[in-house]
Amino acid sequence: MIRLAVWIIGSLVLAALAAWLMALPGTLTLELAGQRMQPRLGTAVVLLLLAAALVILVWAVVRRLIGAPRAMARRRKLRRREQGVEALSDAVIALQAGDPARARLLAREAQARLPENSAAKLLEARADLAIGDMPAAREHYRALIASDKTALAALTGLYDQARAQQHPDAALTFARKALSLSPESTWATEAVFDDLVGRGQWAEAVAMVNAETPPNRESRARKRRRQAVIETARAREAETRNPLGALEHALTALKLLPDFVPAALIAARIHINQGESRKAMSLLRRIWRATGHPDIAALYAYSHPGASAVERLKRMREIIDTPPEHRAAAMALARAAIDAYDWPLARDVLMPYAGPDLSEGVASLMAEIEAGENGDQGKAREWLARGLRAARDPAWTADGLVSDEWEPVSPVTGKLDAFEWKIPVTGHARSAAIPVPSSEPVAEIAQQAQALPLAQAENRQ
């Protein structure tokens, strides 16, 4: 309604303006090709305006005709670009949907329509890698790695390819180069860090962790734990050949994680070996109150070298109340009592845990009590048989592997801080070897990546 009113008012105004112009008094003399015209002034103005409009219209038509080929080419280019972007989008969807063959075809179509688009080239390389066409993927990545814009993405693909072909040295080369180009690259940082950890290069590994700038509280806690684990690994490695250095590393780990049992055990052992039993006992008491770890109690009992079994039992009762507050304490006290031939005490502290929640360790200790106190081999075998069906006791476990001692790295996966003190989970797994397509070595591309100019890294930083 408002538009209609505006249109009517505008039309009336224009009509009134035209009528006013035509009604202007006076005449205008025009001579053209020997012809003289004397229209009224308003009529002449209107004719001039109409002539100007006609000239503009004719020029617009001529200009459109002259620029038609260029406009048609521009529209074809725009349409081609739209088709290329659509093909690129469909290729990404196909690759994510698990259809790499169609993704490769669409990526090639996108490259034909978008020759300068690096994403299409990278997508085709990714599709080649997903299909298993390693030579084609390698050639694509070889071209992409030389460009500043695509170098990091190409190195990511080459890293995945090297790992799939089981070339760890080449994969590490790609990761190191990616890290130099982009220090904030998460995958490259983790790859280089895992390699340092796997090789036991703890000084370089802790330097990488120290260089991190965690953005939040959770990341800061993760950084402290990594630092503590690495310092404990350094202490564990140097405990025999350099006990003072090992003690420094262990104490550093305890500053980062005050209740970290492996670091406390190493520090306490070094104190004991240096004749500083009081320091060792003080440390072990604090860790025992915080964790209740049986290894802490066992080392506390042996904090004075050469002590008799009775003295060890007496020392054990200093930190463990009677009755013990949990099963680990009961087992530790029972172990000391058995060594001291205090059979009644050993039996009394274990009986509360010898019922339905029986564990393998409790059953084994009860069998030892029956055999040692009464010489009853029948009851001892009965306890051992019950232990076969009992729950397992906590142990150092990583990736399904149970170890008698804590280790900084999992022997299965090579991951740092994989061992946990928990009840092992028993299970059966069957692994099948995945065939890896044969291809040429990737070492030459690793050398090419290593030779990338450092200017790229500076530009990215």
Indicate if 120 and 159 belong to the same structural domain: no
Task: Spell 280-296 as b/e; 16+ CB within 10 A means b.
Answer: bbebbeebbeebbbbbb
Of 185, 179, 181, 137, residue with least CA distance to 161: 137
Q: Is residue 379 located within the same domain as residue 390?
A: yes
137 in any annotated domain: yes
- In the chain, the largest separation of any two C-alpha atoms, in whole Å, equals 149
- Residues in contact with 357: Cβ distance below 8 Å, sequence separation at least 6, in sequence order: 327, 391
Same domain, 111 and 177: no
pLDDT at 88: 77
Number of domains making up the chain: 4
pLDDT over 90, % of the chain = 36
Model confidence over 52-84: pLDDT tens digits?
Answer: 888 888 888 888 888 778 878 788 878 877 887
One-letter amino acid at 135 equals: P
The per-residue pLDDT for 312 is 93
Residues 275, 354, single domain; the answer is no
20 contacts: CB under 8 Å, gap ≥ 6: 42
In a domain, 125, yes or no: yes
Whole-prediction pTM value?
0.67
Which of 130, 188, 128, 183 lies closest to 156 in space, CA to CA? Answer: 188
Residues 128 and 56 in one domain: yes
pLDDT in tens, 113-171: 777 777 777 777 778 777 777 787 777 777 777 777 777 777 877 777 777 777 777 77
Confidence grade of residue 32 (pLDDT, cut at 50, 70, 90): low
Residues 92/93/98/103 CA torsion (nearest 10 deg): -50
pLDDT tens, residue by residue, 227-269:
999 999 999 999 999 999 999 999 999 999 999 999 999 999 9
Which residues, 6 or more positions from 102, have their beta carbon under 8 angstroms from its beta carbon?
91, 94
**Residue 184: domain span:** 133-197+442-461
Same domain as 294, residue 231: yes
Average pLDDT, the chain: 82
